[in-house]
């Protein structure tokens, strides 16, 4: 980034000079020449014929006839509808969407991005106003809270319908009851919703405030001051201490290290927690003191912001699939409501003002669509969230979005990050193989003994020889064909490992040092407890830490030298002559060092086996042992060396310098010079390093796989590392074939590679982000169809934008529910794009945790969160929602029967408080107690994850189950009303009390029928509701009349206490419920569900 952003010193020059600088800057960063532009489009024209070429599905290729191969399904553009048909089907929606988009574009025009001039330490000189450096996860503010919540509620058909019904009661001709009959339930629903949203919003505000209040040191003319991260402005000079998060996009100007180097970690950008070496801007690093940054009057001229890994996009609100399904069922109920009302008016013969009677029937049957559905579901979701956070088996779990807990029970795709999510990113050295002997964790003490003996012999030889150790070294190098002892081979292998790397030991500053922080290098005490290692790869840190454990310690390193400490305390110095860093293309790194005590020059190299196998001398064990270590989940590195004479090195250096100064094909010439050294190198050893997995990752992934959940790993790490972790974590089982999608850059290459991939069957896919971009550009539909058939997919080198894109494509192409899990800031876009986001609070900070719907502390908690809580939440919400609908349907059926008896008159059967009480105190507690129901115990759900697979089909809540509940409601409503009319014909005046009592008893018995596992609170709820109803008979007698005019006494206490009343009410209730109990018993015996087989 420093190389791309120039730093200008302000001098007394003309404006034209500044303009020339800017023009030169844009010419360097702009597009290529006209020839390049023409050639690029020429290539695209040449690949245009691929549109007509099918992706082959068979081995025969294009040699067969057209009928012998098939093409993958392609996305086709459907024929547009015309005229009135188009407007009725989709046109009105398209026009409304277009108008809304036009208004939004007018009100919120996107700001044009421009290049920026940022003055050092002078925010007031900024030419444009920049937004605050604050994190905001809130959905609303003070002004948008009420309108936003109301919109989110009334966009659902259910609530909008009841708002219209409630408003209709202000019209005298349409009023059929008291206002509170409709407005009280609606107000209660809105109050509960606003309270829940306010609590969630306040929690988000507190989390944002905690993050934005982190203090940083700001450098001013008057010295250092403490500022909050949210108060940092563009142009401020910020001092970032060791192990402190970088609060914003910054340019690296100066560091306390003299060479201007600093190790940073980019885990919030690409997910990699490796330490990367960065160098400060040279002109500011050379300044004598920090205060001189203000005296140079410099500014940074940066290009305009680009769409890169620094940019995130996401959504704010989420709606669960169950809410959408219930919304569709609500619309179906509305159609039934309208149809029933039309039938009633038709049977009336359209007498009088039939349209007014139609609307009154709509009001009478409005309980078909229960307003209590939303409040019951919302309160149930709050209970589910509370259960998750209180589960002792998954401590630290936080539910940040209380609206979608049931989404955890219907997941089909789980997209996970690698670093910090599946792995701890802590490498441990596990194996050293020398060809004839292998050392593991239990035999490392032998290596330590060999190293100690080897250096003790060298020290004794050096003490007895005034010429130092040069003669024995020359003797050793002059006779390379002599078979070396095991001790000598171990010594050379360990020495090569401790020298061939880019690791830097870092020491904490001494206490009491004032001014700028300086590392304790002057004393060269090299105390072990004060030393830490930093490198661009955790693998290298693990290797150097292992050499320290066996006795050979790296104690110091700079750009030109490094020092080692032997087991006896002797310090060995080496001069770094050349360093060839690791690249993804070469898959190896090398170093040329000179031993200052012997003047011996050695070229060391290490790398992947695929790259090193052709470089080292012939052997018969490397390929086999690499395969063995890979099957153990170890990351392997091959280590080799080559001794060079002074003349050989001088010749190489001159050719290498000449190649680096070449103006044409510099990269190829430099690579050719380096490759001239990489011939017939001596193979020293093979190392195996294990990336420590999170606890119980393997059983958790196996559980998810058995539950029918496909796991995709999206990581910014290298392909080799991602593949190794996928195999070691058992994301890809040992018996599973793996297809590594080769690197493609053009449409033709993608076409051929997709053909090759299509021939593979039942294999895991490993693909890089670059190849993925090409495939999605030209063959999106084909690639997604093939990838979705794979049991596991690994995408490496993915940017945050690509991660979110993959989630969106899965949603669009499969229509299944997706879940994203990660722990770093680079996972935020993926988490927010998924239907359900889970964040892990780990070493990479809390950005993912704060932006996610659910937060856990370990990956293994995902199993219980999904198998137990997700499954229970979905099944409970489905049962609760359908039962609430049943409660409204049964009373509407009774109203329809009653109106039919009264010559289709629009007279309400139950008035006032009876209607409100029916949906609240009389039945609310037993119905809501269904949130405590469970079909199997949590231990059983964890033991048999196959139970989860049934939920993804949506059978717990479907039109089939809904139709069953509709038929049950019609049957019970008809039995209750007709039974009351038939058995109490002589006491018709008491029909309200009779039917309502039987209705309440029926609902209580239906709750008992629905419950699968009893909880003591369920029993309490049943008897509490029954007690509330019996006690209310004393003061609600006025409501037990018929219509607005009573036919006599409303409630006769003497009559309801007679045996006749009791047995007739009991008979009606038994007839309405007993057949259902019998059917449930027969079903459990003849065709039991899967959970019944386990519980039995």
Give the C-alpha separation, 1039 to 909, whole Å. 10
Each residue of 576-600: pLDDT tens digit?
999 998 876 788 899 999 999 899 9
**Residue 870: DSSP 8-state:** I
Burial (0-12, 13-18, 19+ Cβ within 10 Å), 245: middle
Confidence check: pLDDT of 1002 > 90: yes
Of these residues, 236, 274, 378, 417, which one is catalytic? 417
pLDDT tens sequence across 808-819: 999 999 989 899
Cα–Cα dist 451/550, whole Å: 7
Q: How confident is the model at residue 865 (pLDDT cuts 50, 70, 90)?
A: very high
The answer to whether residue 417 is catalytic is: yes
Secondary structure class of 595 (helix, strand, coil): strand
Angle at 638 between CA 636 and CA 642, to 5 degrees: 165
Question: Is the confidence at residue 108, as pLDDT, over 70?
Answer: no
Helix locations, 213-297, DSSP H: 267-270, 282-285
* Distance of alpha carbon 161 from alpha carbon 841, whole angstroms: 42
CA-CA distances (angstroms) from residue 295 to 120, 122, 220? 10, 12, 12
User: How do residues 936-959 score in pLDDT, each as one tens digit?
Assistant: 889 999 998 988 888 877 677 778
- pLDDT tens by residue, 122-153: 877 776 777 788 888 777 888 888 888 888 87
Neighbour tally for 508: CB within 10 Å: 14
What's the gap between Cα 224 and its chain centre?
39
DSSP state, residue 282: H
Which has more confidence, 56 or 858? 858
- Report whether pLDDT(15) > 80: no
Please report where in the chains the tokens 């303009």 appear, as a residue.
19
The set of residues, in sequence order, having a beta carbon less than 8 Å from that of 457 and lying 6+ positions away, is none
The answer on pLDDT for 1 being more than 50 is no
Mean pLDDT is lowest, of 47-61, 904-918, 940-954, for 47-61
Residue 179, CA distances (Å) to 171, 891, 917 in order: 11, 20, 15
Instruction: Specify whether the CB–CB gap between 974 and 890 falls below 8 A.
Output: no
* 754, pLDDT greater than 70: yes
The residue assigned the tokens 């060791």 is: 242
- What residues contact 323, with CB distance under 8 A and at least 6 apart? 156, 377, 403
Least confident stretch, 213-227, 325-339, 517-531, 708-722:
517-531
State the first-to-last Cα distance of the chain, in angstroms, to the nearest integer: 65
pLDDT over 90 at 252, yes or no: no
Q: Provide the pLDDT confidence category of residue 703 given band limits of 50, 70 and 90.
A: very high
Number of residues that make up the chain: 1096
Number of helical H runs and strand E runs in the chain: 40, 28
pLDDT of residue 476: 38
């Amino acid at each position: 980034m420093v190389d791309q952003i120039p730093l200008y010193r302000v001098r007394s020059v003309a404006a034209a000079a500044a303009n020339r600088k800017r023009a030169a800057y844009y010419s360097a960063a702009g597009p290529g020449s006209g020839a390049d532009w023409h050639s690029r489009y020429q290539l695209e024209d040449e690949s245009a014929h691929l549109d007509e070429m099918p992706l082959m599905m068979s081995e025969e290729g294009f040699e067969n006839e057209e009928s012998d191969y098939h093409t993958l399904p392609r996305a086709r553009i459907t024929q547009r509808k015309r005229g009135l048909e188009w407007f009725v089907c989709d046109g009105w929606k398209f026009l409304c969407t277009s108008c809304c988009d036009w208004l939004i574009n007018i009100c919120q025009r996107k700001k044009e991005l421009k290049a920026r001039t940022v003055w050092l330490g002078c925010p007031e000189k900024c030419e444009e106003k920049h937004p605050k450096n604050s994190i905001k996860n809130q959905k609303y503010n003070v002004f948008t809270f009420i309108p936003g919540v109301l919109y989110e509620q009334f966009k659902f058909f259910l609530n909008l319908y009841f708002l219209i019904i409630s408003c209709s009661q202000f019209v005298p001709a349409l009023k059929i009851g008291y206002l509170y009959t409709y407005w009280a339930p609606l107000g209660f629903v809105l109050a509960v919703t606003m309270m829940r949203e306010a609590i969630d919003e306040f929690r988000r505000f507190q989390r944002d405030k905690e993050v934005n209040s982190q203090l940083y040191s700001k450098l001013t003319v008057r010295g250092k001051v403490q500022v909050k991260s949210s108060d940092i402005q563009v142009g401020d000079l910020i001092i970032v201490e060791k192990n402190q998060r970088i609060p914003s996009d910054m340019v690296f100007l100066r560091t306390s290290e003299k060479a201007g180097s600093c190790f940073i970690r980019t885990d919030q950008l690409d997910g990699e927690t490796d330490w990367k070496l960065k160098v400060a801007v040279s002109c500011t690093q050379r300044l004598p003191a920090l205060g001189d940054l203000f005296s140079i009057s410099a500014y940074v001229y940066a290009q305009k912001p680009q769409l890169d890994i620094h940019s995130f996009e996401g959504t704010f609100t989420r709606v669960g699939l169950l809410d959408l399904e219930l919304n569709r069922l609500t619309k179906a109920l509305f159609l039934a409501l309208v149809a029933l009302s039309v039938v009633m008016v038709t049977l009336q013969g359209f007498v009088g003002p039939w349209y007014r009677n139609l609307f009154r029937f709509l009001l009478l049957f409005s309980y078909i669509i229960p307003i209590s559905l939303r409040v019951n579901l919302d309160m149930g979701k709050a209970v589910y969230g509370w259960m998750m956070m209180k589960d002792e088996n998954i401590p630290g779990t936080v539910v940040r979005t209380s609206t979608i807990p049931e989404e955890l029970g219907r997941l089909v795709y789980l997209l996970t990050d690698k670093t910090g999510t599946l792995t701890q990113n802590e490498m441990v050295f596990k194996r050293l193989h020398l060809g004839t002997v292998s050392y593991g964790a239990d035999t490392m003490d032998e290596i330590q003994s060999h190293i100690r003996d080897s250096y003790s012999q060298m020290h004794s030889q050096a003490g007895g020889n005034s010429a130092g150790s040069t003669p024995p070294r020359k003797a050793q190098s002059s006779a390379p064909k002599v078979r070396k002892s095991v001790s000598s081979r171990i010594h050379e292998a360990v020495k090569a490992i401790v020298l061939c790397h880019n690791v830097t030991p870092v020491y904490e500053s001494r206490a009491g040092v004032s001014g700028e922080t300086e590392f304790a290098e002057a004393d060269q005490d090299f105390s072990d407890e004060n030393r830490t290692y930093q490198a661009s790869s955790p693998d290298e840190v693990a290797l150097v830490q292992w050499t320290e454990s066996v006795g050979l310690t790296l104690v110091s390193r700079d750009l030109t030298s490094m020092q080692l400490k032997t087991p006896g305390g002797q310090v060995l110095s080496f001069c770094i002559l050349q360093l060839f860093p690791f690249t993804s293309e070469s898959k190896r790194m090398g170093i040329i060092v000179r031993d200052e005590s012997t003047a011996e020059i050695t070229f060391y190299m290490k790398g992947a086996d695929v790259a090193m196998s052709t470089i080292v001398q012939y052997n018969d064990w490397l390929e086999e042992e690499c395969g063995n270590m890979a099957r153990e989940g170890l990351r392997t590195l091959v280590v080799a060396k080559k001794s060079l004479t002074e003349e050989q090195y001088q010749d190489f250096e001159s050719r290498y310098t000449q190649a680096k100064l070449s103006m044409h094909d510099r990269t190829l010439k430099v690579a050719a010079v380096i490759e001239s050294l990489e011939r017939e190198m001596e193979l020293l050893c093979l190392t195996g390093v294990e990336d420590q997995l999170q606890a119980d990752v393997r059983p958790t992934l196996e559980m998810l796989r058995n539950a029918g959940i496909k796991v995709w790993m999206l990581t910014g790490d290298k392909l080799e590392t991602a593949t190794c972790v996928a195999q070691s974590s058992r994301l890809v089982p040992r018996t599973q074939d793996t297809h590594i999608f080769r690197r493609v850059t053009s449409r033709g290459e993608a076409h051929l590679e997709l053909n090759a991939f299509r021939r593979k069957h039942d294999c895991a896919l490993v693909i890089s982000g670059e190849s993925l971009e090409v495939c999605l550009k030209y063959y999106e539909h084909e690639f997604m169809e093939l990838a979705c058939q794979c049991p596991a997919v690994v995408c490496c080198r993915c940017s945050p934008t690509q991660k979110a894109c993959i989630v969106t494509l899965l949603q669009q192409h499969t229509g299944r529910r997706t879940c994203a899990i990660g722990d770093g800031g680079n996972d935020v876009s993926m988490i927010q794009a998924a239907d359900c986001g889970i964040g892990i609070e780990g070493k990479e900070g809390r950005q993912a945790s704060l932006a996610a719907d659910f937060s856990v502390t370990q990956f293994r908690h995902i199993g219980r969160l999904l198998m137990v809580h997700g499954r229970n939440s979905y099944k409970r919400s489905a049962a609760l929602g359908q039962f609430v609908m049943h409660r409204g349907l049964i009373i509407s059926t009774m109203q329809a029967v009653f109106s039919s008896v009264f010559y289709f008159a629009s007279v309400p059967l139950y008035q006032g408080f009876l209607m409100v009480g029916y949906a609240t105190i009389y039945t609310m507690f037993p119905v809501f107690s269904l949130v405590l129901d469970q079909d199997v115990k949590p231990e059983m759900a964890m033991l048999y994850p196959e139970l989860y697979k049934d939920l993804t089909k949506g059978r717990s809540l479907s039109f089939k189950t809904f139709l069953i509940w509709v038929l049950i409601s019609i049957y019970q409503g008809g039995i209750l009303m007709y039974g009351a009319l038939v058995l109490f014909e002589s006491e018709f005046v008491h029909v309200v009390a009779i039917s309502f009592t039987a209705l309440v008893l029926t609902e209580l018995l239906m709750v008992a029928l629905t419950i699968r596992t009893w909880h003591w609170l369920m029993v309490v709820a049943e008897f509490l509701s029954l007690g509330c109803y019996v006690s209310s008979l004393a003061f609600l007698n006025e409501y037990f009349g018929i219509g607005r005019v009573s036919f006599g006494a409303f409630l006769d206490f003497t009559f309801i206490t007679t045996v006749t009343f009791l047995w007739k009410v009991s008979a009606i209730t038994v007839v309405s419920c007993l057949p259902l109990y019998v059917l449930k018993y027969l079903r459990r015996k003849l065709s039991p569900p899967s959970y019944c087989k386990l519980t039995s």
